[in-house]
Amino acid sequence: MKMLIGGEWRDAADSAVMEIRNPATGELVDTVPAAGEADALAAVQFAQQGRQAMAGTPAHVRHDALMSVAARIERDAEDLAALLARENGKTRREIRGEIAAAIRIFRGYAEEAKRLFGRVTPLDTIPGLEDGIALTTRVPRGVVVAIVPFNYPVELWAHKCAGALAAGNALITKPPEECPLALLRISGYLAETALPANAHQIVTGVGERVGAALVRAAGVQMVAMTGSTATGRAIAKAAAETLKKVHLELGGNDATILFADTDPAAAAKALVKGRFSSGNGQICCAVKRVFVQRPIYDAVCAAVLRETAALRIGDPMDDTTDVGPLITERAARRVEQQIAQGVSEGATLVAGGRRDGNFITPAVFTGVRADMAVFREEIFGPVLPLVPFDAIDDAFAMVNDSPYGLQAAVFTQDLATVMSAYRRLDVGTVVINHPTAIRVESLPFGGAKGSGNGREGIHDTLIDMTEARTLLIPYAFAGSAEAAA
Ligand code: NAD
């Protein structure tokens, strides 16, 4: 497939291409342009026209365009799911869920485009400005660059794409290098809407090259990126040169706490789903650290091992598969190395942990200490470490003792424990009696510390992708008393 710059489906200026391969089989799915700085700068230049045109595009047109994209995605859902499964390797069941979420997200932002309200402020709070009034509305930021990770590309991009366009910006998308094809396909749907020329462009290629060029570009007002914390830091530093707004949704090492009043069998099912059979273990908010209160620790470990043994690992296109491959062999080797480090640090590997190509068999660790790397670092693959605890304060302290703070989950029937967790855990969302691997598009999603610097969600993103502009009229009512008399 080609990329879309200036309204044309193009190759890279230097004709470079990159291969897109099926992570499960190694099969070549397609090639895309490997864009460079010249392509990025061309897109930024065209986006200046797109920005002007979008600023004059009424909300009802933006609404209708996003609704029509949602309808196209819905119509082509099975085709898109098949394409995404081939390039991304998630199970078909998971991918159908992702496509369904993207449809809801496009519709949600379409509706929200009609709710960009402003406010009117009387100025009689200030001596001398008694006759004044001001009105403040939200205006688009201008050109937004969306940088998308590989794991849930369609769903995560939907927030950035529909959000930016609903708010009246021009958008340039940098899709993940491993799996850009579904986003290219949906970009074709966007190009057929009534949105103006250059409202949306998509530039494929390697992040450090074309992504970095977009981040540096002076004609870009905002970068909305989801990905690893290391990349987020590099982007924030590069963007500082031009003082552009940066919204970062980054890594996580989410904790789940099981209190002693939890049913071990039900909790084990939830943990295994939230760690192994969602996204093949590659989710920012997956169950990455588990704390189990001592009285149920042995029962939970036994139930987790039973559930893990029942998982079916293999072809993601087979509807009975629970766990597919990691995105690349490099990613699988990295997880293999993290598992080996856990063993060398003294943790006990009680299940799985073997690599075969891009596949890792779901791994369970016991005997883990909170200071081990297997516990402290984000592992982007199917690895589940279990740690016992005694007192609530110990569990909360270990959860907060992390460079990340995306989500945390608490399993308990006790309301006081729930409220205490909500107040004391330093994370963006506390989930109750459900694993952390959940995102609801209408809620503000995002984390504290190394997990990012904002919240993304249908309402929040629209505010984020606009800025306030005020009309200040100090003497608006001067003379109006006489007129009324
Ligand atoms: P990544 O950081 O390697 O890549 C993310 C995107 O950034 C890709 O499109 C990549 O091409 C681009 N990129 C890389 N270097 C760049 C640079 N210097 N300048 C501009 N762009 C650059 O992440 P990944 O491996 O695709 O995704 C996995 C990570 O994403 C994990 O850490 C995971 O926790 C995180 N993630 C977070 C969320 C969230 O909402 N918080 C959601 C999904 C994934």
C-alpha–C-alpha distance, residues 286 and 378, integer Å: 10
pLDDT of residue 169 exceeding 60: yes
Task: Report whether pLDDT(482) > 70.
Answer: no
Q: How many angstroms does the Cα of residue 284 sit away from the middle of ligand 1?
A: 10
Give me ligand 1 centre to Cα 230, in Å. 8
For residue 174, pLDDT over 90 is answered with: yes
**Six token digits for residue 447:** 């984390």
Span 400-434, pLDDT tens digits: 999 999 999 999 999 999 999 999 999 999 999 99
Whether 178 is in the pocket of ligand 1, judged by its Cβ within 6 Å, is no
Dump pLDDT digits (tens) for 327-366.
999 999 999 999 999 999 999 999 999 999 999 999 999 9
Amino acid 102 reads A
| pLDDT at position 239 over 90 | yes
In the chain, the domains with their CATH numbers are 3-250+451-470 (3.40.605.10), 255-432 (3.40.309.10)
Segment 10-50, tens digit of pLDDT: 999 999 999 999 999 999 999 999 999 999 999 999 999 99
Letter for the amino acid at 350?
Answer: V
Q: What's residue 370's pLDDT?
A: 84
Over residues 85-107, the mean pLDDT reads: 95
Residue 298: CB within 6 Å of ligand 1? no
Distance from residue 364's CA to the centre of ligand 1 (Å): 26
* CA dihedral for 249, 284, 291, 417, sign (positive or negative): positive
121 φ, ψ (degrees, to nearest 5): -120, 115
pLDDT band at 480 (very low <50, low <70, confident <90, very high): confident
Instruction: Give percent of the chain above pLDDT 90.
Output: 97
Question: Sorting pLDDT into bands at 50, 70 and 90, what band is 484?
Answer: low
Where does residue 133 rank: exposed (0-12), middle (13-18), buried (19+ CB within 10 A)? middle
**Residue-wise pLDDT tens digits, 281-326:** 999 999 999 999 999 999 999 999 999 999 999 999 898 999 999 9
Q: What are φ and ψ of residue 448, in 5° steps?
A: -95, 170
Gap between the Cα atoms of 215 and 247, Å rounded: 12
Query: String of b and e for 57-90 (b: at least 16 CB within 10 Å)?
Result: bebebbbbbbbbbbebbeebbeebbebbbbbbbb
State whether the beta carbon of 23 lies less than 6 angstroms from ligand 1.
no
The band of 93, judged by pLDDT with boundaries at 50, 70 and 90, is confident
Q: How far apart are CA 385 and CA 348, in angstroms?
A: 9
